[in-house]
Amino acid sequence: MPTSNIPVITIDGPTASGKGTVAHKVADKLGFHLLDSGALYRLTALQALRRETNLNDEHALAKLAEHLNIHFAGDAIYLSQENVTDAIRAEEVGNTASKIAALPAVRQALYGLQLSFRKTPGLVADGRDMGSVIFPHAQLKVFLTASVEARADRRYKQLIGKGISASMQDLLMDLKARDDRDMNRAIAPLAPAEGAYLLDTSAMNADEATEQVLKWWAAAHK
């Protein structure tokens, strides 16, 4: 099957909107492959922090992104055979990823890698620009969002559940700063893709959001 005929569902949205969880659930239900594009930027950020790479050196960061030795195994993410699933979720890594994602050379370095995830029988891709830039001809595009308060509450519970101390006030400030950075960057700013369905999950749980996405997918294939 030509790559262009392999179905793609894109789920974009801001930090902590729940898009990752929903994308996992939709992929599981449909038996599709999954692309967590945010993880690629977090992996680049983790590598940069570990190697103490100058975060203003766009060329050096792009070289790191080009040579990432990564693979996904179920919910686990590996960097050079090391399981870094939890390490890339650290707040410092997330903040760094948000900053380097604004760099054109880094985005270009990861472009081909993201396209390579499109394999039969299909792909669910989540991120910031999956429907607008990476897979603009996806069969279904969803822009999933939630109020910043709802997102901060989710992140707080997630961190506390992992035994990581967190401040609700700090999380709110962090999310607002990330939103501003993501929406106002010059390259691929965070915004709903043309033709995307908008889904506000402020008052929904992940199962309800997943059900809505699957309904849209079913309707698109009648």
Q: Is the previous residue joined to 192 through a cis bond, with omega within 30 degrees of 0?
A: no
Tell me if 15 is assigned to a ligand binding site. yes
Q: Taking a C-beta distance cutoff of 8 angstroms, is the pair 114, 125 a contact?
A: yes
Tell me if 14 is assigned to a ligand binding site. yes
Classify residue 102 by its DSSP letter.
Answer: T
Joined together, the tokens standing for residue 208 give 């309800």
Start-end of H helices in 67-167: 91-100, 104-115, 148-161
The residue among 23, 206, 222 whose CA lies nearest residue 122 is 23
Tell me if 18 is assigned to a ligand binding site. yes
Look at the alpha carbons of 82, 59, 128, 182 in this order and tell me if their dihedral is positive or negative: positive
Tell me if 21 is assigned to a ligand binding site. yes
Torsion of the alpha carbons at 150, 151, 156 and 162, rounded to the nearest 10: 130
Joined together, the tokens standing for residue 33 give 């492959």
Start-end of H helices in 134-185: 148-161, 168-184
Look at the alpha carbons of 199, 201, 204, 205 in this order and tell me if their dihedral is positive or negative: positive
Tell me if 13 is assigned to a ligand binding site. yes
Q: Taking a C-beta distance cutoff of 8 angstroms, is the pair 10, 217 a contact?
A: no
Feature table: binding site for ATP: 13-21
Feature table: binding site: 13-21
